[in-house]
Amino acid sequence: MHSTPVRRGAVGAAVGTVWLAGLYVAAPLVGGFAPVALAEAIIVRSPGWLSTLAVGLLGFSAKPVLLGSVLVGIAALSAVARIVWPRVRPETPLLAGVLGVGATAAVFLAAGAPPSPGAVLGVAVAVTPPYLADRLLSTARTSSEPDRRRFLRRVGSVALVGTGSLVGLRAAFDRFAGGSGRGGAGGDVADDVETNDGGADAGGTSQSTAGPGDPRFDFAGMPAAVTPAEDHYVVDINIRPPDVDSDSWSLDVDGAVESPYGLSYDELRAHDASVEQIMTMVCVSNTVGGDLVGTPRWTGVQLSDLVADADPVDGAVDVVTHAADGYSEAVPLDIVEREDILIAYEMGSGPLPTEHGFPARLLVPGRYGMKMTKWITRIEVSTADHEAYWESRGWDEEAVVNTMSYVRGAERDGDRVTVGGVAFGGLETGVEEIAAVEVSVDGGDSWREAELEAPIAPHAWRRWRHAFDAPDRSEFEVVVRAITREGEVQTEERSSPRPSGATGWHRRSIRV
């Protein structure tokens, strides 16, 4: 049989593509799409600088691009393997089948699927289509240019029809099974590579919400005083969020304590230490002026009460929160004693959406989102310092939010122009840190004090606005800086997010 490297590579790529479709169909049998687990393993093992680079270059596209690269890489490896495959012998089909079964089983095990009848069926579902595709394409002969074109068309048809049929089968299966519903409000994740963290789209027109907020600060481009749950940014280390069943979930409080205990989801929601809190959250990966910041309304239980009920032993130093996805984060015990640190179970007017940590997540005012573990399953009191997930990758352990101020909105009413935005700073003391905001509309040559919205909560951003007459100008270079209650002016020096969050004045050219 005449066989060229191009032909063998095309067959290999087609077989690899059909195998991926088979893995997709088998996902419900083994607990997930195996390449996703591979992509997540790459994220976990990536150095912090690489994560930051990916976020900076690709933003929310970082993880979809990673997953797409994994899929293309698998198809490419299949093509290379077929090119170097030994000359076809009578025993070759059997050998190929054995290797296919072994590779599929290994992928399922690496993805965390335990040996089970479902896993065995999943292997069969994943291996059979690519095996048949390989046998079908291997019977094609090529000896002339027209035949070669016909062969390549046949390869494309097999890959397309086989993949489409398998994906359609999976869609029908999901529809018959009623989908894989998740707890909470649900929703798909669009993330990048930071942490187990929770974005507000600061662009566009304002979205007024009932509740706190001065309507004079609601103009074009300004964010709502309180961020709706559906507009809050999403950042975590996963391609897909953990699917946690609230009926079987429990929150265990243990470690260096005298009285360990656990709470069911209903018991947590009914806890008598529940409070409501409006709080700004910022992602440590946020660049100056970026959209990875929001101020939702949360409801939860004070962490200090949950820990106190377990009676920590003398010598305890850290409270470590563990997540369903393997993530962990540590907070010093002396900080946990603050009454504003919560284990939240509601966001806005309903349960936490899956992508924001259902059924429960940690909230630490004034710290970057990397400290706020989602999908919590355990609160561990520890007598030793705990090296947290991102700390071990070179990020700042304390993660106090740097003083920040951003330009967001602008509008014109006749000769009158109004610009505005938000300001926020790390809340070490539990009180409002922003005392003033200064704004320049000429690129920093002159400054004026902006009007600040009355505080809507101790741990919330302050919206600001500045109105001025400009009958003969329509373009402005707006620069903003915040001043803390201790009189410290926000630093102008620009720094990247790694390792302690971005710094620098935000500049934005506007035309009204």
- The 3 state secondary structure assigned to 382-422 is ECCCCCCCCHHHCCCCCCECCCEEEEEEEEEECCEEEEEEE
Tens digits of residue pLDDT in 34-66: 777 777 677 666 666 666 566 556 655 666 777
Do the strands 342-347 and 361-363 form a parallel or antiparallel pair, or are they unpaired? Answer: antiparallel
Based on the domain organization, do 293 and 409 belong to the same domain?
no
Note whether residue 473 is domain-resident: yes
The amino acid present at 439, given as its one-letter code, is: V
Note whether residue 183 is domain-resident: no
**Domain end among 153, 177, 201:** 177
What pLDDT score was predicted for residue 146? 46
Containing 138, the helix (H) or strand (E) segment is helix 117-138
Angle at 234 between CA 232 and CA 235, to 5 degrees: 145
Distances (CA, A) of 410 to 149, 153, 202, 213, 505: 59, 55, 13, 18, 18
Based on the domain organization, do 41 and 88 belong to the same domain?
yes
Based on the domain organization, do 386 and 408 belong to the same domain?
no
Based on the domain organization, do 373 and 408 belong to the same domain?
no
User: What CATH number did the domain enclosing 296 receive?
Assistant: 3.90.420.10
Alpha-carbon gap, residue 31 to 39, rounded angstroms: 15
What pLDDT score was predicted for residue 19? 81
What pLDDT score was predicted for residue 142? 43
Alpha-carbon gap, residue 470 to 233, rounded angstroms: 35
Cβ atoms within 10 Å of 493's Cβ, excluding its own: 8
**Domain end among 128, 151, 177:** 177
- Exposure pattern of 359-378 as b/e (b: 16+ CB <10 Å)? bbbbbbbbbbbbbbbbbbbb
Please say whether the beta carbons of 16 and 78 come within 8 A: yes
Alpha-carbon gap, residue 211 to 159, rounded angstroms: 55
Strands (E), 266-314: 274-278, 281-282, 293-294, 297-302
User: What CATH number did the domain enclosing 440 receive?
Assistant: 2.60.40.650
Angle at 153 between CA 152 and CA 156, to 5 degrees: 90
Alpha-carbon gap, residue 132 to 162, rounded angstroms: 10
- Exposure pattern of 37-51 as b/e (b: 16+ CB <10 Å)? bbbbebbeebebeeb
Note whether residue 46 is domain-resident: yes
Angle at 425 between CA 339 and CA 432, to 5 degrees: 55
Alpha-carbon gap, residue 186 to 349, rounded angstroms: 14
**DSSP secondary structure string for all residues of 349-363:** TEEPPGGGTTT-EEE
Supply the DSSP symbol for 139: T
Supply the DSSP symbol for 146: H
What pLDDT score was predicted for residue 33? 77
Based on the domain organization, do 164 and 249 belong to the same domain?
no
Based on the domain organization, do 369 and 263 belong to the same domain?
yes
Note whether residue 292 is domain-resident: yes
Supply the DSSP symbol for 2: -
What pLDDT score was predicted for residue 168? 52
Tens digits of residue pLDDT in 422-433: 999 876 555 567
Residues 6+ apart with CB under 8 A from 225: 209, 211, 212, 213, 214, 217, 295, 453, 456, 460, 463
Based on the domain organization, do 34 and 98 belong to the same domain?
yes
Based on the domain organization, do 110 and 220 belong to the same domain?
no
Please say whether the beta carbons of 394 and 48 come within 8 A: yes
Note whether residue 202 is domain-resident: no
Please say whether the beta carbons of 13 and 79 come within 8 A: yes
**Residue 263 half-sphere exposure toward CB, CA atoms < 13 A:** 24
Residue from 472, 476, 468, 410 nearest 445 by CA: 476
The amino acid present at 24, given as its one-letter code, is: Y
What pLDDT score was predicted for residue 207? 41
List, for the chain, all residue ranges whose pLDDT scores fall below the cut of 50.
1, 141-146, 158, 161-162, 165-166, 169-170, 172-173, 175-210
CA 392: distance to chain centroid? 19
Could you give phi then psi for residue 328, rounded to 5 degrees? Answer: -145, 155
Do the strands 416-424 and 404-413 form a parallel or antiparallel pair, or are they unpaired? Answer: antiparallel
Q: Is 270 helix (H, G, I), strand (E, B) or coil?
A: coil
Note whether residue 191 is domain-resident: no
> Could you give the number of structural domains in the chain?
3
This prediction has a pTM of 0.70
Alpha-carbon gap, residue 122 to 26, rounded angstroms: 5
What pLDDT score was predicted for residue 271? 95
What pLDDT score was predicted for residue 153? 54
| 485: containing domain | 404-511
Based on the domain organization, do 157 and 31 belong to the same domain?
yes
Based on the domain organization, do 373 and 410 belong to the same domain?
no
What pLDDT score was predicted for residue 186? 33
Note whether residue 328 is domain-resident: yes
Based on the domain organization, do 264 and 372 belong to the same domain?
yes
Based on the domain organization, do 389 and 409 belong to the same domain?
no
**Domain end among 150, 177, 204:** 177
Residue from 294, 260, 494, 491 nearest 378 by CA: 260
Note whether residue 306 is domain-resident: yes
Please say whether the beta carbons of 165 and 25 come within 8 A: no
Alpha-carbon gap, residue 158 to 219, rounded angstroms: 55
